[in-house]
Amino acid sequence: MTKKMIMIYIGLFLVMMVSIGVNYPTWIVPILLVLFVANILLQLVKNKNRAVKETLEWCETFLVAGVLAYFIQSFAIQAFKIPSGSMLETLQLGDHLFVNKYIYGTKIPFTQHKVMVFRHIERGDIIVFKYPKDPTKDFVKRAIGLPGDTVEIHNKIVYVNNQRLIESYVEHKDSRVFPDDPRLMEDARLRDNMAPIKVPPNSYFCMGDNRDFSLDSRYWGFMPEDNLKGKAWFIYWPLNRIRIIR
């Protein structure tokens, strides 16, 4: 087996590690830095003997594979596991899916600028983003209100810009309808009825398909575009759930 083939297998292995929940920033970056430093040191003495040269070649193999996997995960495709039932029945608890990170544009590191924007978020897109109240957590919801839209809810029915939104994907598992009454707790008062609100620039109003049991924009506000990670693209596990996400 050639070192190039080994490099490819290592890269695939690192990508698969993401699919089971391993977080690259906590472990692969230090490893890559160590390999990089080791590579420099070995370059200085590579002509000393054959063993050092062989070690250098292996370090390069692991370094290239690791960098390749890191860039794929950071800028192209990332694996994600559905942590809750807020998107039932579209997405099931425990579904493993790939997130397309480049379709909405690739962010230039250390800036807020994007390049190669293939398209912008459209109403109905299922997106993955950093939870605004706790950026260490990833949320998956459906984009309902786009920048400039006015969103309101009357008796569980969503209206965007005074037009009823047709939502064949929505599940209502609770037949009760709560009024927008200040005497009620907020999670009940805002669930089924919400006064009109306008989505600000560079922000989105997001909701779960399991509408009666979803922690979404009704409760924590708008999703800033800077929090966006990508578009939910493809369920790859379990096998009987393999499909493109729509």
Residues assigned a catalytic role:
86, 141
How does DSSP classify residue 227?
G
Distant-in-sequence, close-in-space partners of 187: CB < 8 Å, separation ≥ 6 = 219
Of 205, 207, 209, nearest to 224 by C-alpha is 205
Residue carrying structure tokens 């977080």: 23
Pairwise CA distance, residues 100 & 228, whole Å: 11
Pairwise CA distance, residues 227 & 233, whole Å: 18
Pairwise CA distance, residues 169 & 33, whole Å: 46
The answer to whether 157 and 168 have CB atoms below 8 angstroms apart is: no
Please give the sequence-ordered ranges of beta strands (E in DSSP) within the chain, or none if there are none: 77-81, 96-100, 106-107, 114-115, 126-130, 138-145, 150-154, 157-160, 163-164, 194-198, 203-207, 223-224, 228-237, 243-244
The answer to whether 228 and 99 have CB atoms below 8 angstroms apart is: no
Pairwise CA distance, residues 169 & 95, whole Å: 17
Please provide the DSSP assignment of 88-113 as one string. Answer: TTTS-TT-EEEEESSTT-EEPTTSS-
